[in-house]
Amino acid sequence: MTATLPIDIHTHHTPTPPATAIVCHTPADVPPYCPARQATPPTWLSVGIHPWDVGPAQKAGQLPRLLALLAGALARPDVVAIGEAGLDKLATAPMELQTDVFLQQARMAEETGKPLVIHLVKAQAELLAAHRMLRPTVPWILHGFRGKAQLATDYLRHGFWLSFGEHWQAEALRTVPSDRLLLETDDCPTPLPVLLQRVAQARETTPERLLPTLRDNVRRVFFPSFCCYY
Ligand SMILES: [Zn+2]
């Protein structure tokens, strides 16, 4: 199987060509799986229950259905990650419920061997407690990382991966070793090549030099069984 690895690890846009990004969906809106369409190039997906959706889903009695849909989606070869899952103190659902749903998704990540893309707002202690409890073997990726350098160092020490989007603190970005760095466009309008240029500049390198490392990071995190993907 030959394909270009996606560099953009988390987007809500439709990428062109399709294989250049991992597109985020909820279990309720994931497009149907069609093996024939997966020829080349595939559209890579991540599927998860976002913390913002936990409260409304609970109210509507839909959480068990969403978790079942998620379990089904994870069996698909084009679904290469779980997410966004996470913990958000500004979301409507109580932290206890959010934690429960997050842990269920983290356990699914372990069972399927697929990495976890994490949305985190003001819940660092809760996330680290979950990490200590589960001791995950699959990568946990903090998406849209905007924290300071010290926080980046702490997360890296705990084994997390950090993904940077449109906004970041330059010192934090420079703190992350190249072999632990991921990029994403999320829902921002800035195209990936522009993002890559800015990130490379902030790290005093060039997109050409950064790109092979980013590809290899994506391979290690999202496509660990493919050794010769590009
Ligand atoms: Zn997102």
Q: Is 218 exposed, middle or buried (0-12, 13-18, 19+ CB in 10 A)?
A: buried
**pLDDT for 32:** 87
Query: Ligand 1 centre from 185 Cα, in Å?
Result: 8
Query: Ligand 1 centre from 154 Cα, in Å?
Result: 23
Quick one: pLDDT band at residue 9, thresholds 50, 70, 90? Answer: very high
d(CA 180, CA 156): 8
Quick one: pLDDT band at residue 17, thresholds 50, 70, 90? Answer: confident
What is the DSSP code (8-state) at residue 37? G
Fold for domain 8-220? TIM Barrel (3.20.20)
Quick one: pLDDT band at residue 2, thresholds 50, 70, 90? Answer: very low
| pLDDT average, residue stretch 202-215 | 96
Q: Residues of the chain with pLDDT > 70: what percent? A: 94
Tell me the CA distances in angstroms from 197 to 6, 177, 202, 203, one per residue in order: 16, 17, 9, 10
Beta bridge partners of 79: 45
**pLDDT for 5:** 84
Query: Ligand 1 centre from 50 Cα, in Å?
Result: 9
Q: What is the pLDDT of residues 20-42, one digit of tens each?
A: 999 999 999 999 887 766 556 67
Query: Ligand 1 centre from 1 Cα, in Å?
Result: 29
Beta bridge partners of 21: 8
Query: Ligand 1 centre from 203 Cα, in Å?
Result: 24
Q: What is the pLDDT of residues 39-79, one digit of tens each?
A: 566 789 999 999 999 999 999 999 999 999 999 999 999 99
| Alpha-carbon torsion angle 72, 24, 230, 220, nearest 10 | -70
Cβ-Cβ contacts under 8 Å for 117 (sequence gap 6 or more): 9, 10, 24, 46, 48, 81, 82, 83, 84, 85, 141, 143, 163
Query: Ligand 1 centre from 190 Cα, in Å?
Result: 14
d(CA 162, CA 142): 5
Q: What is the pLDDT of residues 127-179, one digit of tens each?
A: 999 999 999 999 999 999 999 999 999 999 999 999 999 999 999 999 999 99
CB 119 within 8 A of CB 83: yes
d(CA 17, CA 198): 22
Q: Smallest Cα–Cα separation from 21: which of 143, 138, 160?
A: 143
**pLDDT for 36:** 67
Q: Where are the domains of the chain?
A: 8-220
pTM of the model: 0.94
Query: Ligand 1 centre from 23 Cα, in Å?
Result: 9
Tell me the CA distances in angstroms from 167 to 148, 153, 190, one per residue in order: 12, 18, 11
Query: Ligand 1 centre from 85 Cα, in Å?
Result: 10
**How is residue 104 written in tokens?**
């269920």
- The string of DSSP letters for 162-212 reads EEE-S---HHHHHHS-GGGEEE--BT-SS-HHHHHHHHHHHTTS-HHHHHH
